[in-house]
Amino acid sequence: MKRTKTARHKEVMTSASGVRVVSHQGSKDFYFYLLNASWPRFFMTLFVIYIAINASFALCYFLTGGIEGMKSANFIMYFFFSVQTFSTVGYGAMYPATTLAHALVVTELGLGIMATAMLTGVFFAKLSQPRAKILFSNVAVVNRRDGKLCLMIRLANERNNEVAEAQAHVSVLKPETTSEGEKMRRLYDLTLARNITPNLMLSWTLIHEIDESSPLYGLDAEIMERDAIAIFVSITGFDTVFAQTVHARKVYIPTSIRFDARYADAIQVIGPGHTRLEYEKLHDFVDLNSAR
């Protein structure tokens, strides 16, 4: 008999907040799931596993019996005995009295010790993950700077620390047709006026000049919407507190790109050597057409 493999697929959704996997029928990695899950989902998953393991052993104790010291031999009491065994608490009121019950206790004790060790490792790995707190502007703007048409993207460091040697990489995903007539989507790098800053403490505006050599040359809002063009931004740098390299990313889709607009001022100089960044204004922009 010929064996057939189940078709595997991955579906992703591109939005202004980033790229998100919405459907994945491929390799299943529970460790990756735990590290990638949010903290509420992480604790909820562990809680469900904890309850399921203890409920399974409670059912085994309930069916086989052999536990002495119970006030009433119901499932709830067996569940509480399983919890004491799994966590190695053992208050002493309930105890195994048969060989089969002892065997179940030994099995659960071993599983509990291994689970505690694995949980400690996963929890530490998740807790020690360095994450950059980079705030990207909700929109990218296109306007003229010093007489040249430019794409601009503003970002800021949300933490009270320094990101040393921060580097920016911007690329655009656009459709094209090869000389053989094959349609495909290709990623092009966008050259920045400055792609590295020695110290990211406040804000940083990335600037790409849209000239004849730019992949964005000749594009307008209508074309970008029609071709579903996306702009990818990634930031990497050395976090001086974590002493590790951190990264952040952002995706701008056509609805989050504003033509003939500029960013509103978000930085104020309030004294000699004293500059203030107003995060709530980081996303503000001015429509140049309506301002005229």
Q: Which pLDDT tens digits describe the chain residue by residue (292 residues)?
A: 445 555 565 565 666 556 555 555 555 678 888 888 888 999 999 999 999 999 999 999 999 988 998 888 899 999 999 999 998 888 888 999 999 999 999 999 999 999 989 989 998 888 877 777 889 999 999 999 888 999 999 998 888 788 899 999 999 999 888 778 888 888 999 999 999 999 888 888 999 999 999 999 998 889 999 999 999 999 999 888 878 888 899 999 999 999 999 999 887 877 777 778 888 888 988 888 775 5
pLDDT of residue 103: 94
pLDDT at 35: 85
Q: Which two tokens stand for residue 203?
A: 């804000």
pLDDT value, residue 13? 61
Residue-range domains of the chain with CATH: 37-127 (1.10.287.70), 134-291 (2.60.40.1400)
Question: What is the residue whose two structure tokens read 């990101």?
Answer: 163
Distance CA 85, CA 107 (A): 10
Q: What angle do CA 25, 29, 35 make, to 5 degrees?
A: 120
State residue 1's pLDDT score: 47
Q: What is the pLDDT of residue 16?
A: 57
Long-range residue pairs from 130-134, CB within 8 A, at least 24 positions apart, any chain: 130/239, 130/242, 130/244, 130/245, 130/246, 131/246, 132/163, 132/235, 132/237, 132/239, 132/246, 132/247, 132/248, 133/157, 133/158, 133/159, 133/248, 134/158, 134/163, 134/235, 134/248
Is the overall model pTM greater than 0.85, yes or no?
A: no
